[in-house]
Structure 1
Amino acid sequence: MHLNFDQPMVMLMVYCMSDLSTLEKNNNLSCQQLIKYTIVPYICSIPFIFIPGYLSGLILFDPCLTNILWIWIMHNFFLVCLTEEVLFRGCLQRAIQNGLTRYGVHNGLWAVILASFLFGIVHFKGGLIYMGLAAIAGFLYGYAYYKTGKVVCAMMVHFAVNLLHFLLFTYPMAMAK
């Protein structure tokens, strides 16, 4: 864990200077719908990320509460989830969707799939299985953004998945023996 503030500050400036913050305020979804489209992708992470990760040996069941939990929470939410979701959902997924719409593709799920694929690719240091699971996770985060139009919903799903991973499994993955 590195407390590196340069990338999150750039993404926070991008978020504030773009129309993302304005778009997020103009949404006709009810609070109940926002909660639904945030919780459902999170729940889907269990069968689609954690079970395959465990069965592949990439992660091991290792529940623990550490003394660094609070600093990890602050670091992960503000320096990881904020940065990645503004970049991949707020900028990239939205740009892909706008580009596809110009070419007559009006199904936003294609943008979710393409942004998720790219999200998986940037996690290449973890190997192929890790990239695949990151792409699936990226799809869940992207789906939350697609359904709500709010980066903060994608951030919440991302953070909840990472927190469950941190509290119950080896993080970020099992060490090679």
Structure 2
Amino acid sequence: MNKKELMLSVILAVAITGLVIAGWLALVNAIGLIGVACLAWFYRKDQINRWIKAGLFFLLMPLVFWVATYRPEGFSYPLLFTLPGTEVGESGFELYVNFAKALVGLVLLLLLWHKPRGDEFVAAPRWQFLSALFAPAIIIAVAIPALGLALEPKLIEQIVLFALVNLLVIAVAEEAFMRLLLQQSIRNAAASLGAQRWVQELFSLVVVTGIFVLIHSGLTGAAVWVYALAGLLYGLSYTLSKNVCYPIMIHFWVNLIHFALLTYPIPS
């Protein structure tokens, strides 16, 4: 472990300890976060045996998901605001700051950050830029009629708070998990089996798009296809660039535009 990694470890330990003491992070999630950091640190090493690497992947994947989503009974993350339901008696939207999810995303981002290798496909910069530029508009344009979204602007202070949580908790954590841990790992596994480069990229993109839809439980009807489109375009931006910043940026803008201007959450 070099000095930079040691410093990051100390910062992470201090942050986790402070959040637990403040009552903003459950102790069991804090322990899980330490496990994620340790596993990710070993997993990123190229020189380890591929079977050990596969074992680390199948330990890390469910642990990351569990730490980010598990909320012990009686524990609650800080609540920033609540939106009333659209129907009488309907529960509204509540924006919590899920610190476990934020920290697990940050750990994956720092430890699994990917630099493209010579044998990997990377599109020309203009295609990377165009994918990031047009993807949010395409997703929103499809979602409005498909999901029956109406114009419902939110208050400025609500938009600002949502933007911060959206970036630091939702977009970073979900895209670090989906792209750096899942999509890149599946692509690498396909490459190690001798698959052609287009097969490596297409297979990992399709599989992870399916996983993206599955982890958003409760989707029915048109919502399934809208989420599939979103997951596909997030993943495509990573396929073209091998830079996780692109899917993070697209995910951020799709969520922010949806929240700030349209019916939120998606009508059931």
Q: TM-score, normalised to structure 1's length?
A: 0.82
* AA at the equivalent of 1:69: I
CA deviation after TM superposition for structure 1 residue 149, in Å: 0.9
Q: Which residue of 2 aligns with 1:70?
A: 160
Q: Which residue of 2 aligns with 1:44?
A: 138
CA deviation after TM superposition for structure 1 residue 136, in Å: 1.7
Q: Note the alpha carbon deviations across 1:100-147, whole angstroms, 9 max, x for none.
A: 223314221221111011000011134454333222211110011111
Q: Note the alpha carbon deviations across 1:81-114, whole angstroms, 9 max, x for none.
A: 0000000012101111112223314221221111
CA deviation after TM superposition for structure 1 residue 47, in Å: 4.1
Structure 1 position 98 matched with structure 2 position 188? yes
Residues 105 and 51 (structure 1 numbering): CA distance in 2 closer, same or farther, change over 3 Å? farther
Equivalent position SS for 1:42: helix
Equivalent of 1:134 in 227, 230, 233: 227
Q: Which residue of 2 aligns with 1:168?
A: 261
Q: Which residue of 2 aligns with 1:3?
A: 97
Q: Pairwise mapping of residues 140-159 of structure 1 onto structure 2 (< 5 A)?
A: 140-159=233-252
Q: TM-score, normalised to structure 2's length?
A: 0.56
Q: Which residue of 1 aligns with 2:170?
A: 80
Structure 1 position 117 matched with structure 2 position 210? yes
Structure with the higher fraction of residues in helix conformation: 1
* AA at the equivalent of 1:121: L
Larger Rg: 2
* AA at the equivalent of 1:144: S
Give the total of aligned pairs. 166
Of the structure 1 ranges 118-127 and 45-54, higher mean CA displacement relative to structure 2 is found in 45-54
* AA at the equivalent of 1:132: W
- Separation in 2, partners of 1:126, 1:28: 33
Q: Which residue of 1 aligns with 2:67?
A: none
Residues 73 and 123 (structure 1 numbering): CA distance in 2 closer, same or farther, change over 3 Å? same
Equivalent of 2:147 in 53, 74, 79: 53
Residues 79 and 173 (structure 1 numbering): CA distance in 2 closer, same or farther, change over 3 Å? same
- Separation in 2, partners of 1:93, 1:128: 26
Aligned partners of 1:11 and 1:83 also within 8 Å: yes
- Separation in 2, partners of 1:157, 1:19: 18
CA deviation after TM superposition for structure 1 residue 159, in Å: 0.9
Percent identity between the two aligned chains: 22
Structure 1, unaligned runs of 5 or more: 55-59
Aligned partners of 2:146 and 2:223 also within 8 Å: no
Aligned partners of 1:41 and 1:143 also within 8 Å: no
Structure 2, unaligned runs of 5 or more: 1-94
